[in-house]
Structures are given as structure tokens and as C-alpha cells.
Amino acid sequence: MLKLKISQALPNPLQITLECAAGQLHALVGPSGSGKTSTLRTIAGLSQAKIGKIECNGETWFEANELAGVIQNLSPAQRSCGFLFQQYALFPHLSALENVLIPLQNSAHKVAERKALAQDWLGRMGIAELAHRFPHQLSGGQQQRVALARALARQPKILLLDEPFSAVDAPTRQGLYKTLADLRKDLNIPIVLVTHDLREADLLADRITVIDNGISLQTAAPQVLFQRPRNSRVAELVGISNLFHGIFNAGNLTWDGCDKTFSVADKGKIPANAQVAWVIPQDGLSIHNAPTLTSTPAIAAEISVLGQIAVIQLQIQNSIHKIEWVASASEVKRLNMEVGSQMYIELNGNQIHIMPLRPINDPRRFVDGN
């Protein structure tokens, strides 16, 4: 189990909390420069936070507070992290086998045993026959497998992966996804993955932490994150398309810039007349040809058909807002929908998720809408 709680104001602001259990894959996502890689480097001991605590399997790797300063700070060599660098960082003067032998340098095994172990790791990565090649004689994907074998050869207590899939082509990436999935089952250690690709995080991770400007905004399972983002910035970062603003008062949400009010349930945490952000998942939308009592008129402004899937932009009438509706191509046909068609949208209030505009630690979290 990896537990991390770090914070600092300078040189880069960092305020991250995360926990990752053995066998879990935890993804850190966020835009470039948000602090994902800094967090990973701090875990490995390659950078140091001002204050905080990093624990792995009950062992304190780093501890510092404002009063006492640094209490404990193990060196990267003492921490037992497998670290996969974005550009692999293979030792260019050593063969693949020699690269994997480096982490075994200080092991208790005899030289022949070490060689067998290193060769075994290359075998597990599917590149046993490339053992005597040098990094410059390997493709990007092969280099990455050597780097992964090197990261794991020491039997680390955690595995840290820094954007591992960004520099390889799509087919290689698919192969690496599978390798990672297999390893996860076998290794049973916490794995922390940094990525800017949400689809990848959704595909691979058990839990995702969204980081922005050095602050961890939300940690949740992928499904929860996409359906119930904690605030408007998280919704933006995870790419939720139907994100709007409004004013919430006593169970009623008034849509900004649109004469429309919905009855919405909340946990009573949001003060009266607060400016809020809100999202509605695709399940909460139903589209009709004819008006109903609670429907909102809209015009089909754009229809993009991608194979069996259609993405439709519906322009709400008398408003600046567009709602994105993803449907099957046959559904679009059934509704006789064409660009310019008059449609009627029903938004299910029970599915609307409202949230503050800013993170929980921001004093401007709720702004009075009046």
C-alpha cells in the first residue's frame, strides 16, 4: 500500500493526496505541467516536496513538516521503486541484458543467477532474443520492454510509469496494455501511471486522480469520475461535453442564459442562490419529435455520423447553449432527424449532477448567484 500526502508552495505548487493498494493501478491525469510527473518523481525520491509524508507498506520513505523540517528522506536507491521513464532512459553503452542486470548489481544472487534472472525478465517481456542488442538497435516498443524489465528486475515495492504509452505507435501500445494487464495480476504491488490520455486511464486504471495546477482535485473510480465530477474544473478536464452553469436554490436549478428550471436533488451541501456548474450524462437525455410537458425545444445544428454512432449538436432555442447527444445511427433515422430539424429534449432532473465551480480548498468555492 502506497500512501502519499505532500504539499509545497514553491518552486511549483503541489498539493497531492493519494493512496494506492497492492495490485491496484492508479492513474494520475491532468494537463501538461499540472504536476503529474513531479508527483511521480517525488514518490521515487528524485525530487523532494517541502512537507508531507510518503509511506509504502508501512515504511516511511519521506516525512517532513514545517516545525521539524525533514525527518526522514530515503534516497531513490533505498526506496525500491520500479520507475519507467517516458523516454525509457536506457543505458546506451549496455546491451538489453546488461541494462536489466544493473538493478541486480547489489542483489545477493551470484553472477550466473543474476544473468538468468535478467534473461528471465526479458523473456517475460517477450524479447528474450534481443538480449544482446544495444538500445540504439531496438525499436521504441522494444526499448520500452527492456526499460520495463529493468524497472521490475529489482522486485520493487511499487511500479511508477511516466507516460509510458506516449512515444509508441498504436499497435505497440495495444501490446503494452496487455503486458501491463498481465503484470498487474502477477506482481501484486501498487502501480501508479501518469498519463494525459483519459481514455487510457479509463481503460487501465482502478482509480484516477485528476491533477490541475499541482493540486489533486478528485480521486475516484473512472465511472464515478465521469458521472459525478467533484467540480466544474474536473468536469472540464475529464472532457465532459454537456457542462453548463446555473444558479441553485432550494432544490431548483436555473440554467444560466436559458429560461429553464429543473428540480434537482442534492445532499444539502450547496448554499442558497449559489452559482454552480452542472452536468448531465447521456442517459439523462431523451429526444423527441413532438413537444412534451417538460421538454425544451431545440434545433439539430450538426450531425456527425461515425459508423454506427452519431454525435448530434442540439441548439437550445432562445439560448446560446448546445447539448451534445450521442445516439445510434438507427435512432437518428427513426427520428427523421436532419440538420435544421425541430426537436424536443427532455432532461431528467434526477440525473443532473450539480457541483461547485471551484475546488473544495478554494475560498471562492461558492459564489452567490445574486
Residues that bind other proteins (CB under 8 A): 44-46, 75-77, 79-83, 85, 87, 89-93, 95, 102-103, 105-106, 132-134, 136-137, 150-151, 154
Residue 243 CA from chain centroid, whole number: 19
Q: 206 and 24 in contact (C-beta within 8 Å)?
A: yes
To other proteins, the closest distance from the beta carbon of 103 in angstroms equals: 4
To other proteins, the closest distance from the beta carbon of 76 in angstroms equals: 4
To other proteins, the closest distance from the beta carbon of 35 in angstroms equals: 18
To other proteins, the closest distance from the beta carbon of 51 in angstroms equals: 23
Nearer to other proteins, 42 or 231 (CB): 42
Q: Could you give the CA distance from residue 37 to residue 31 in angstroms, rounded to a whole number? A: 11
Rg (CA), the chain: 25
Nearer to other proteins, 157 or 207 (CB): 157
User: Strands, DSSP E only, in 50-96?
Assistant: 51-56, 59-65, 69-73, 81-84
Q: Could you give the CA distance from residue 60 to residue 309 in angstroms, rounded to a whole number? A: 50
To other proteins, the closest distance from the beta carbon of 277 in angstroms equals: 39
Q: 170 and 177 in contact (C-beta within 8 Å)?
A: no
Nearer to other proteins, 101 or 337 (CB): 101
Nearest Cα to 356, choosing from 201, 256, 247?
247
Nearer to other proteins, 88 or 244 (CB): 88
Q: Could you give the CA distance from residue 312 to residue 369 in angstroms, rounded to a whole number? A: 31
Residue 27 CA from chain centroid, whole number: 5
To other proteins, the closest distance from the beta carbon of 58 in angstroms equals: 20
What is the side-by-side strand order in the sheet with 2-8? 69-73, 59-65, 51-56, 2-8, 14-20, 215-220, 207-212, 25-29, 191-195, 158-162, 81-84
Q: Could you give the CA distance from residue 182 to residue 185 in angstroms, rounded to a whole number? A: 5
To other proteins, the closest distance from the beta carbon of 353 in angstroms equals: 41
To other proteins, the closest distance from the beta carbon of 264 in angstroms equals: 49
Nearer to other proteins, 85 or 177 (CB): 85
What the block records as the C-alpha cell of 67 is: 516545525
Helix runs in 162-255, H state only: 170-187, 198-204, 222-227, 232-237
Q: 4 and 43 in contact (C-beta within 8 Å)?
A: yes
To other proteins, the closest distance from the beta carbon of 158 in angstroms equals: 11
Nearer to other proteins, 99 or 231 (CB): 99
Nearer to other proteins, 45 or 246 (CB): 45
300: three-class secondary structure by DSSP: strand
HSE-CB of 133 using CA atoms within 13 angstroms: 14
Nearer to other proteins, 98 or 331 (CB): 98
Nearer to other proteins, 118 or 323 (CB): 118
